[in-house]
């Protein structure tokens, strides 16, 4: 059975998503390419600048989707509803031991409604939940970008149906759970003091050396969060994935996102 995509990727949407992702990769990856003579400044000071760049780019994703004809008022309403669901679910886990049920919504939403919708959902949902829980800080733009990439990746997965689709989404949910934790470590790892030399960031060191230190830092500090996040995400997808996907696809079909009405004069 085919399903309508709430937000189709047109040329303008692809360009704006690529531009936003490029900014995000530079923001995350600068410690690995920083020159040894560069001044290391905490993200607490540059995150507002990143936030000021990311928000207009995310708005540009939505605007470009309008101009591409891939998003309308019904798609925006659905985006708002799912973002509200994430905002309500996030305090339930509170990040305790990585038990965050929100990733199920992001993965299934991106899968059922398309990569563009998944990208917008991840960013908007993390922003709205941060406002609700008072979690606005220098980490927020990085969380928004990470969640946006999770939703985007879910929408880009290969076609599958039935049980194979659930297994595919469960495997993706597990990989995304670990990748999100690994990525989010990168924004604050260079500024953690008193780390052993094997875990610490070394300005100007070869990329491979800092990469290995970053991976070791993640293994030591965040696996206790990443493993429960992955287990919960996989479990919820296998248990509730099918009905949630069917519900999202039913809403998409009933909303009729794809066809554009045309009016002709009555003879």
pLDDT value at position 210?
87
Task: Decide if 166 contacts 237 (C-beta within 8 A).
Answer: yes
pLDDT tier at 9 (50, 70, 90 boundaries)?
A: confident
Mean pLDDT computed over every residue of the chain: 81
- The predicted-structure confidence for 203-234, as pLDDT tens digits, reads as follows 778 888 889 999 999 999 888 888 999 999 99
Question: What pLDDT shows up at residue 40?
Answer: 47
- Cα–Cα distance list, 30 to 33, 57, 253 (Å): 5, 20, 43
Ramachandran region of residue 2, left (φ > 0), alpha (ψ -120 to 50) or beta?
beta
Query: Which has more pLDDT, 265 or 151?
Result: 151
Query: Is residue 20 a contact partner of residue 57, using CB atoms and an 8 Å limit?
Result: yes
pLDDT given at position 251? 82
Question: pLDDT tens across 43-63, in order?
Answer: 445 556 666 777 787 777 767
Average pLDDT over residues 94-107: 78
With cut-offs at 50, 70 and 90, classify the pLDDT of residue 7: low
The Cα–Cα gap between 151 and 235 comes to 18
Q: Where does the pLDDT of residue 16 fall: very low under 50, low under 70, confident under 90, or very high at 90 and above?
A: confident
* Assigned token pair, 151: 């939703």
Q: Is the pLDDT of residue 256 over 60?
A: no
Higher per-residue confidence, 38 vs 215: 215
Separation between Cα atoms, residue 244 and residue 188, nearest integer Å: 35
Is the pLDDT at 245 greater than 80? The verdict is: yes
Fold of the domain built from segment(s) 11-255 = Arp2/3 complex 21 kDa subunit ARPC3 (1.10.1760)
C-alpha 11/C-alpha 18 separation (Å) is 11
| 3-class DSSP state of 102 | helix
Domain ranges of the chain: 11-255
Look at residue 188 and tell me whether its pLDDT is greater than 70.
yes
The 10s digit of each residue's pLDDT in 235-244 is 999 999 999 9
Q: Whole-prediction pTM value?
A: 0.83
Q: What is the mean pLDDT of residues 14-20?
A: 87
């Amino acid at each position: 059975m085919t399903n309508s995509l709430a937000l189709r990727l047109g040329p303008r949407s692809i360009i704006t998503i690529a531009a936003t992702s490029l900014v995000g990769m530079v923001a995350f990856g600068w410690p690995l390419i920083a020159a040894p003579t560069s001044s290391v400044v905490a993200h607490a000071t540059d995150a507002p600048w990143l936030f000021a760049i990311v928000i207009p780019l995310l708005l540009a994703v939505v605007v470009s989707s309008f101009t591409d004809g891939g998003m309308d008022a019904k798609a925006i309403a659905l985006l708002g509803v799912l973002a509200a669901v994430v905002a309500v679910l996030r305090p339930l886990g509170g990040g305790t031991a990585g038990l965050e049920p929100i990733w199920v919504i992001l993965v299934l939403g991106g899968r059922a409604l398309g990569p563009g919708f998944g990208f917008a959902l991840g960013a908007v949902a993390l922003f709205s939940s941060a406002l609700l829980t008072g979690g606005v800080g220098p980490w927020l733009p990085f969380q928004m970008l990470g969640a946006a990439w999770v939703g985007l990746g879910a929408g880009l997965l290969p076609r599958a149906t039935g049980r194979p689709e659930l297994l595919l989404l469960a495997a993706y949910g597990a990989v995304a759970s670990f990748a999100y934790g690994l990525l989010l470590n990168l924004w604050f790892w260079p500024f953690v003091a008193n780390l052993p030399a094997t875990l610490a960031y070394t300005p100007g060191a070869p990329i491979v050396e800092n990469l290995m230190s970053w991976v070791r830092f993640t293994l030591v500090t965040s696996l206790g969060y990443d493993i429960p996040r992955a287990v919960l995400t996989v479990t919820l997808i296998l248990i509730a994935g099918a009905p949630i996907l069917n519900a999202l696809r039913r809403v998409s079909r009933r909303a009729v996102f794809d066809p554009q009405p045309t009016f002709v004069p009555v003879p």
